[in-house]
Amino acid sequence: MKHIARKRFGQNFLTDGGIIDAIVRAIAPRPGDPMVEIGPGLAALTQPLVERLGRLTVIELDRDLAARLRQHGQLDVIESDVLKVDFAQVAQALNAPKIRVVGNLPYNISSPILFHLLEQVHVVQDQHFMLQKEVIDRMVAQPATAAYGRLSVMLQWRYAMEDVLFVPPESFDPPPRVDSAVVRMLPYDQPAAVDVALLSELVQVAFSQRRKLLRHTLGRWLEARAYGGAFDTQRRAEEVPVADYVALARSVGGRG
C-alpha cells in the first residue's frame, strides 16, 4: 500500500537516486559504524546506508512507517518523537562511545532537533542532515551578514559545519516549496568551556532587536548583572563574532 505523506509530520520523501547517492558519498558510511538515522520515512536513504553498514538504528515517529521498517531484518527501530530520544542511551545500546547521526529532518522542527542534539553532543561523532537551505545558510553564516544570528552562534561554538550539497524541490515527493541542502557537522574535540544556558540567554537577548545597537539590549542585560568587564556594545548583534560571544559568556559566568 502506498504511504501518503503526512503534513503534520512534515513528510517529504526523497526520491532522486542521484541525490541519494551523493548524500551517501558525503556521509561515507563504513561497515560497523554505529549510526542512527532520524526520520527514515520510506527508506530511500536507509537502504543504501544499511547495505554499507550492515546494521542501522532508525528513529521514526509515524507508526505506520515504523511498522513497515520493523519488517527489515537489519534495522533497529525506535518509534518515538526524536525530541524525546536520549542519544546517550542509544550510544550505550550500540556499545559505542560516540555515534554518527544522519537524517532528512522535518523542516517544521529542524531547529529544536539541532538544539536537542547540541545538549547531547558529547556522544556524537558527526552529523549529516538534509534541511531547508535557508536554515543551513543561517547555520554556517558569517558575522555581518543577514543570515547570521542565534542559530549561527550557538552551533558554530560547538561544531565545524559545511554546506556539502544542494537539493532541489523536485528531488522529493511531494516537492516542498523550498530549496534544501545537506550540512556536515563535526563537533569540536575541545570547544571553549562555557555555561551553555548562559550563552544561549546572552545570544537570545543580543539578537532580540538585531537592528538596534547592543547597548539597548545586551548592554542593559549586562548592567542588570552588574557586569564590570569590557565589551563593546556600540555594535549590532550581527557584527559580533562567535568567539566574542563565547568570551563574554565565560567572563559573565566567571570562567574568563
Residue 232 has pLDDT above 60, yes or no: yes
Dihedral (Cα; 43, 48, 53, 59), 10-degree rounding? -20
For the annotated binding site, the residues are 12, 14, 39, 60, 81, 104
pLDDT at 106: 83
For the annotated binding site for S-adenosyl-L-methionine, the residues are 12, 14, 39, 60, 81, 104
Confidence bin at 11 (pLDDT 50/70/90): low
**Domains along the chain?**
7-187 (3.40.50.150), 196-252 (1.10.8.100)
Q: Give the mean pLDDT of the chain.
A: 94
Give the model confidence (pLDDT) of 14-26 as tens digits. 999 999 999 999 9
Give the model confidence (pLDDT) of 91-121 as tens digits. 999 999 999 999 999 888 999 999 999 999 9
Give the model confidence (pLDDT) of 61-82 as tens digits. 999 999 999 999 999 999 999 9
Q: What is the pTM of this model?
A: 0.92
